Structure 1
Amino acid sequence: MEGHQEWLHGFAQAKTEAALLELLAKAANELGFDYCALGMRLPLPFSNPRTVMFNNYPQAWQQRYQSEQYLRIDPTVAQGMTSTRPMLWSEALFASSRPLWEDARAHGLQIGWAQPTHDLKGVASLLTFARSGEAIGRTEFQANAQKMHWLAQAAHAALANILAAKPDGVGTIKLTEREIEVLRWAADGKTAADSAEILAISERTVIFHIDNALRKLGAANKTAGVLKAAMLRLI
C-alpha cells in the first residue's frame, strides 16, 4: 500500500459503515485478499456488550455464520478480545471450532489473517482479510504485518467515530464540568452531602447535577451512572 496520507484521508472521510467497508475491500485487494470483515465489541451494556459487524463475504456465508451463531465459538473473536497479536487461520487455531473451520472452507474462505485492536476506552475490534487461494507464507506475512496493523488501527478509529456520531452513540454524551465533578466524587464513595461540602455548594445542587448526568447517560441510578461514565472515560 502506498500513500498513507491518502488512506488516512479516506478513513477520516468515511461517515458510514458502507463507506468504510468499501475502503477496507480496496485495501484487502491490494494486499492480495478477496474479502474483508470488521467487527467491534463495545463495553456497554455491561450485561450484554454490543457487537457491530460488517463484511463483504459471500451472502450465503453471512447467513450461515449468523444462523449457526458462529460468533459464539469463533476463536479469532475470543482471542482478539484478550490479545492484539495477529492471527493466521489454521487448523490448530480452529481446533476447538471444527464445524466453523470446515464450513468456512466450504464457502471459499480458506485463508485468513485477523488483526485485533484495543483502545483505552475498553473497546476491541477485529479486522480480517480472507481469500480462497494461496496460503500466507513467511515472506508475505513479514512484508504486510506492519500494513495490516496500521489498517486495523485506522479502521478501528474510523468505526469508533462513525458509531459515536450516531444519535444513540456514546460520542453524543456531553457532561458539564460540574456533572463530571459530582460523578467523580460519587465514584470515590462520597455522598451528596460530602460532595456538597467539598465543592462548597448545596446538597440540592449536587443532586441536581447528578440527576442531569444520569439522564444524559441513560442510567437508572447513581451506581450505574458512575460505572457507565467511567467505562466511557467521561470521568
Structure 2
Amino acid sequence: MFNEELLQLVEPFAKARSLLDTQSALERFSYKMGFDYFQLLILYPCSLQRSHIVLINNYPKSWFDTYYKNKYLMEDPVINLAMKQTQPIFWNTQDLMQSDISEKSKNVMKLAADFGVQNGISIPLNSPTGEKGVLTFITKVGNNSELMYE
C-alpha cells in the first residue's frame, strides 16, 4: 500500500510539462510529506556572468516579497552552500552556521525564521550540462532553531 501511495506522489513529476504542473506536484508532495513550504530554484547559465533563474515556491507572500525586494538570494546561506556541495543541507545542524558564512547570511536565516520559514532540508541539484539548483522542503517549527541563529 505504501509503495502505491509513494508512486502516486512521485508520478506527477515525470508527467509535468510546465512550471504549473511542477508547482502542483511539489505542493501535493510537500503537503503529503508533512512540510509547510517548498522552494525549487534552478539556475540556467546563459553566459559566464549571467544565469536565467527559475524559482517556484509556496512561501508566505510576506516573506517572499521581503526576500525578493532585498535581493536575499545573493546572501542566502542555503543557496550558497547548495552551489558548493552535493550533500543535503539540514537546516537544524551547524552546516548553516559555519564560520565562513557572513553575518548578512546569518541574518537572512534569522529573518526567515521570523516569517515562519524555520527548519528544512535542502537538496542541491546539479546537471551534466551546467544547471545548478536546490530543492527545499520547510516546516514552520524548527528543531531548536531558536538557539542556532543567536
Shared fold, TM over 0.5: yes
Between stretches 42-51 and 66-75, larger displacement belongs to: 42-51
Identity %: 27
Alignment CA distance shift 1:134-1:90 (3 Å)? closer
Letter in 2 for 1:13: K
Which of the pair has the greater relative contact order for Cα pairs under 8 Å at 6+ separation? 2
Residue in 1 that maps onto 2:148: none
Among residues 9, 12, 15, which one is paired with 1:10 in the alignment?
A: 12
Paired residue total: 136
How far apart, CA to CA, are the structure 2 residues paired with 1:63 and 1:28? 21
What runs of 5+ residues in structure 2 fail to find an aligned partner? 145-150
**What is the CA-CA distance between 1:8 and the residue it aligns to?**
4.6
Going by fraction, where is helix more abundant, 1 or 2? 1
Among residues 8, 16, 21, which one is paired with 2:23 in the alignment?
A: 21
Residue in 1 that maps onto 2:63: 61
Give 3-state SS (helix, strand or coil) of 1:120's partner: coil
Among residues 131, 134, 144, which one is paired with 1:123 in the alignment?
A: 131
**What is the CA-CA distance between 1:122 and the residue it aligns to?**
1.2
TM-score of the aligned structures, taking structure 1 as reference length: 0.53
> Which is greater in Rg?
1
How large is the Cα RMSD of the aligned pairs? 2.1
Among residues 106, 113, 119, which one is paired with 1:111 in the alignment?
A: 119
How far apart, CA to CA, are the structure 2 residues paired with 1:2 and 1:60? 37
Q: Is the 8 A contact 1:91 1:101 kept in 2?
A: no
Runs of 4+ with >4 A deviation: none
Q: Is the 8 A contact 1:86 1:116 kept in 2?
A: yes
TM-score of the aligned structures, taking structure 2 as reference length: 0.80
How far apart, CA to CA, are the structure 1 residues paired with 2:53 and 2:69? 16
Alignment CA distance shift 1:7-1:27 (3 Å)? closer
Give 3-state SS (helix, strand or coil) of 2:14's partner: helix
